[in-house]
Amino acid sequence: MRLAGKKPKLMFSRSDCTVATRETLCHDDFAIFATYRLIHGRFIGSLKVVRKTDNRLLFPFEGAPTIGPFDHKEEALRASETLGIQIVEGDIANPEP
């Protein structure tokens, strides 16, 4: 089965730090890849979030929720981007080891 959708969109956040340590993570220390897939006529968000300082995959994880389904691709993409930003901000506030 061929999945329709766009190539993952890499989102770079604002530059608000220069040197990253475990205590001083910033948005630039993460890569967010947000996109969508068309499955059975509905759009499902697809997301990958990586902490670049240690290449740790933060999302998806085992048991991760499905993003959607949505009627429009823009909704799925927006939901994926929003969840990605929430994951990054949560990891900045409380870094996972």
pLDDT of residue 25: 87
Alpha helices, DSSP H only, in the chain? 73-93
pTM: 0.75
pLDDT tens for the chain, residues 1 to 97: 444 555 555 554 444 444 444 567 899 999 999 999 999 999 999 999 999 999 999 999 999 999 999 999 999 999 999 999 999 999 999 987 7
In a domain, 26, yes or no: yes
In a domain, 2, yes or no: no
Q: How confident is the model at residue 8, as a pLDDT?
A: 59
In the prediction, which pLDDT does 59 show? 96
Domain carrying residue 59 = 9-93
Please indicate, yes or no, if residue 4 is contained in any of the structural domains. Answer: no
The pLDDT of residue 18 is: 42
Q: Cα–Cα distance between 30 and 61 in angstroms, integer?
A: 16
- Number of domains the chain is built from: 1
Residue 20 structure tokens: 């990253």
What's 60's DSSP letter? S
Question: Cα dist. 12→60, 63, 70, 77 in Å?
Answer: 18, 26, 25, 15
Distance CA 8, CA 11 (A): 9
pLDDT in the model for residue 24: 77
